[in-house]
Amino acid sequence: MTAWVDTGRFVREFVRDPLHTASVTPSSRALAAAMVRAIPTTGSPVVVELGPGTGAFTRAIQEHTGGRARHLAVELNPRWAQLLTERHPEVDVVQADARDLARLLADRGLPAADAVVSGSRGWRTPPGPTAAGCTP
């Protein structure tokens, strides 16, 4: 049921802003499982998720790390940042541009990420400075 509701959300957001939404469906569970496979599972890895959308990868990251990750999710769309905050109170969800990642990490006293999971193939942002590890 949630999957259908989320697909509806994607279609609406795609109509509203196709450039940033970049898809009409959320990622599948199979893709999410493949995306998180390389994340370290020992200790409390710092995991950055860029463009979490409705949370397809968010849930997979939490499951893969057993909820032990220091998980920062950076979402540009305020409606989805709000939705994700409600769905995953255990995740540090911030409504921001992925290009500000270096500052967002510094604000939290995090020198680096152990893993970065990107929810988009390319960042749809105006030209400008890029965060470490993000190629718009």
Provide the binding-site residues for ligand SAM, judged by CB under 6 A. Answer: 20-23, 26-27, 50-53, 56-57, 74-77, 80, 97-98, 119-120, 123-125
Cβ closest to ligand SAM, residue 74 vs residue 113? 74
Using an 8 Å Cβ cutoff, are 111 and 44 in contact? no
In the beta sheet, which residues pair with residue 12?
A: none
Closest to ligand SAM by CB, 17 vs 43, is 17
CB of 8 to ligand SAM, least distance (A): 14
Q: Cβ of residue 46: shortest distance to ligand SAM, in angstroms?
A: 18
Closer to ligand SAM by Cβ: residue 96 or 110? 96
Tally helices (H) and strands (E) across the chain: 6, 4
Measured from the CB of residue 92, what is the shortest distance to ligand SAM in angstroms?
14
* DSSP code for 80: H
As to burial, measured by CB atoms within 10 angstroms (0-12 exposed, 13-18 middle, 19+ buried), residue 40 is middle
